[in-house]
Amino acid sequence: MRRGRRARIEIPVGRMPTQVMVTLPVRVVHGAEDGVRLCVTAAIHGDEINGVEIIRQVLDLLDPADLAGTVIAAPIVNVFGFSSHSRYLPDRRDLNRSFPGSRKGSLAARLAKILMDEVVDPCSHGIDLHTGAAGRMNLPQVRCDLEDGEIRRCAEAFGAPIMIHSRGPGGSLRRTATRAGKNVIVYEAGEVLRYNPAAIEVGVQGILGVMASLGMIASSRDSSVEPVSSHRQKWVRAQRGGIVHIQVELGERVVNRQQLAVISDPMGECEYLIRSPGDGYVIGGITNPLVNRGDAVLHIAFIDPPAPIEPDMPAQIDNGFAEGSGALRLPVDPANGSVGPSAAAGSSASDGSNDGHDA
């Protein structure tokens, strides 16, 4: 492919029962200069549409004449689930548990294999875009192997408010590609089947930030704010069934034993408190207030201690970030509630596939 050009590619995946050919849409922006090859993928879970819009906006902003390297974008990887508003493939398989895939396996395995061969393998770096699972809302966050220097550098350049250390579930694109030596990060933000403007904005700026750090485009912003990192997270669960009234916002800083939510019965005759299991930040929560005993309600990230100044000095959890602010940085307008557990409604209950460790 010639430099300084865009290309539209439709890769055949298979026929529907109606005989309509389903294709994997891929867009390539080939820069005028040599450089890094970056793949960007979205809607591996077909109902996670924020990433589709993020890629649309990024592709619109890129000019091949000003680009060094190549962007390979697959904005709708699970084309079947996307069409039916579903996380899964038609046989209920989870595509993000099906990597690296195979030529002779299930539809999920074949689609995973196509994505690996045609989109991921040609690239050295990748960004995979997700949202919370159904019934969940996520604070914009990057998940990746923070122990890997180059991957951590990309995560920091993305500039989401928080970086979560995780190598990803077995069979996920992230885990598989990272093991194959690719520098892959996952961006998780917002909820399914809805555009969350703040989540999209952080995502668009994040991809451009990573591209700038890789020398693909001119720097797009000043990165004066450093994201915090977390190696440990915990879902706080309902100790009994009822109706949850969440009293904290996504991104809010909470302290040990702080009251996070109240579970009441429909008549308001009895109340049970949910308290924080430690000092941390709220990074996810449910959108449906009706819970059963044991349901996950809020996701708390415990922040990594800063590196001690003296080798012998014990690290202080609270040092060095967000002093006095009480919340992680987000371009959120509280009035329109575009990010926040209290803002959402109408989602179905959790599919129970996991506890928000979605990607």
Q: Which is nearer to Zn ion, 258 or 353 (CB)?
A: 353
Of the pair 263, 344, the CB lying nearest Zn ion is at: 344
Distance CA 349, CA 355 (A): 12
Q: Which residue has the tokens 């004449």?
A: 65
C-alpha to C-alpha distance for 332 and 259, rounded to whole angstroms: 23
Q: Which residues of 313-334 are buried (b: 16+ CB within 10 A; e: fewer)?
A: eeeeeeeeebeeeebbbbebee
Cβ-closest position to Zn ion: 130
Q: Which span (127-135, 214-222, 271-279, 317-325) binds Zn ion, by CB under 5 A?
A: 127-135
Q: Which stretch binds Zn ion (CB under 5 A): 12-20, 43-51, 197-205, 280-288?
A: 43-51
Contact flags string 44-73 toward Zn ion, x per CB under 5 A: -x--x-------------------------
| Site for Zn ion contains 358 (CB under 5 A) | yes
Strand order through the sheet with 259-264: 271-275, 259-264, 242-246, 290-291
Cα separations (Å) of 158 from 98, 205, 206, 351? 26, 7, 4, 29
Query: Which residues have a Cβ under 8 Å from the Cβ of 257 and sit 6 or more positions away?
Result: 275, 276
Give least dist CB 359 to Zn ion, A. 5
In the bound state with Zn ion, the residue whose beta carbon lies nearer, of 78 and 229, is: 78
Q: Contact letters (x/-) for Zn ion, 231-260, by CB under 5 A?
A: ------------------------------
CB of 196 to Zn ion, least distance (A): 14
Which CB atom, from 156 or from 358, has the smaller least distance to Zn ion? 358
Shortest reach from residue 358's CB to Zn ion, in Å: 4
- Shortest CB 138 distance to Zn ion, Å: 10
Tell me the three state secondary structure of residue 242. Answer: strand
- Tokens 């395995």 correspond to 109
Contact (CB, 8 A) for 116 and 347: no
Considering the complex, what minimum distance in angstroms separates the CB of residue 188 from Zn ion? Answer: 7
In the complex, least distance from residue 88 CB atom to Zn ion, rounded to whole angstroms: 11
Binding part of the chain for Zn ion, among 123-131, 209-217, 262-270, 299-307 by CB under 5 A, reads: 123-131
Phi-psi region of 266 (alpha: psi -120 to 50; beta: other; left: phi over 0): alpha
Number of residues that bind Zn ion (CB under 5 A): 5
Alpha carbon distance, N-terminus to C-terminus of the chain = 32
130 binds Zn ion (CB under 5 A): yes
Contacting positions for Zn ion (CB under 5 A)? 45, 48, 130, 358-359
